[in-house]
Amino acid sequence: MSSTHRPTPLTSRLAPGAASLSRRRCPRSTATSANPNNRSGAVAMAGFARYGVKEDNPDGTFMETYGLNLGGGNIGRESIVFGADATLLAFEVERPMGIVFEDVNGECVAVEIIEGSNAFAAGVMVGDVLRMTSAVAVGKSTVEVGKLQVEPSLGMRKKGANRRALFVADRRPFDAVMDAVVSNAEDVDGTVSPTVALLLERRS
């Protein structure tokens, strides 16, 4: 994975002074997409599942809870606030992916989709904001889920075993978000997942 610094072609969408941003290229991909228009009930969405119902806020934003099956009967869940004009999309994208992300005003935004990649074919679009991703955490360390630091079991710490995790991108450093995405290439119990689960927000 490489990192370059050059003016982004999306200056019309950026605040003044934000034209030059760090770029991190994520690998090419194949993908399957979920139905972004289905928002009611408990719905499985390409790796993610929604729990409960949408809660509307007075300012027009809304909150929904999403979870990811981490294996062994464990479900990682997190409640996230979305903008009033948001459409939510979930993808399970085969590695390597064809998405270029940049830090745009503190958010991890897709600024380029490699033409011909499966991410392109699946419908990931420029401007999509990464809100959550699957990840792999090393057993010796803690994994941050939302605002909580989750400790691995003693056995995991002794073995240094990797485990699946849910990573929330909000208010996290850009490099940490990219590290979480790339970590999906690490093995868990001797098996490497061929896909990365992404929850994206698309704004109108």
The predicted structure's pLDDT at residue 188: 85
Tokens of 61: 């934003």
pLDDT band at 153 (very low <50, low <70, confident <90, very high): low
Radius of gyration of the chain (CA): 17
**What's the rounded mean pLDDT across residues 169-177?**
94
The predicted structure's pLDDT at residue 13: 27
Instruction: Report how far residue 16's alpha carbon sits from residue 179's, in angstroms, rounded to the nearest whole number.
Output: 28
- Asked if pLDDT for residue 31 goes beyond 50, the answer is no
- Asked if pLDDT for residue 182 goes beyond 80, the answer is yes
The predicted structure's pLDDT at residue 161: 74
Contacts of 11 (CB under 8 A, 6+ apart): 18, 19
Contacts of 42 (CB under 8 A, 6+ apart): 49, 50, 51, 52
The predicted structure's pLDDT at residue 43: 39
The predicted structure's pLDDT at residue 179: 92
Which residue blocks in the chain are alpha helix, DSSP H?
118-122, 154-159, 174-182
- Asked if pLDDT for residue 113 goes beyond 80, the answer is yes
Please name the residue that has the structure tokens 């990192």.
3
pLDDT per position as a tens digit, 38-93: 333 333 345 788 888 999 999 999 999 999 988 877 888 999 999 998 998 989 98
Nearest to 78 by CA among 141, 163, 170: 170
Between 167 and 1, the higher pLDDT residue = 167
The predicted structure's pLDDT at residue 28: 39
pLDDT per position as a tens digit, 5-30: 332 222 222 222 222 233 454 443 33
DSSP label at residue 26: P
Share of the chain above pLDDT 70, in %: 67
Mean pLDDT of the chain: 74
Across the chain, which distance is largest between two alpha carbons, in Å?
52
The predicted structure's pLDDT at residue 149: 59
Nearest to 130 by CA among 199, 29, 45, 48: 199
The predicted structure's pLDDT at residue 48: 86
Whether the predicted model's global pTM rises above the 0.85 cut: no
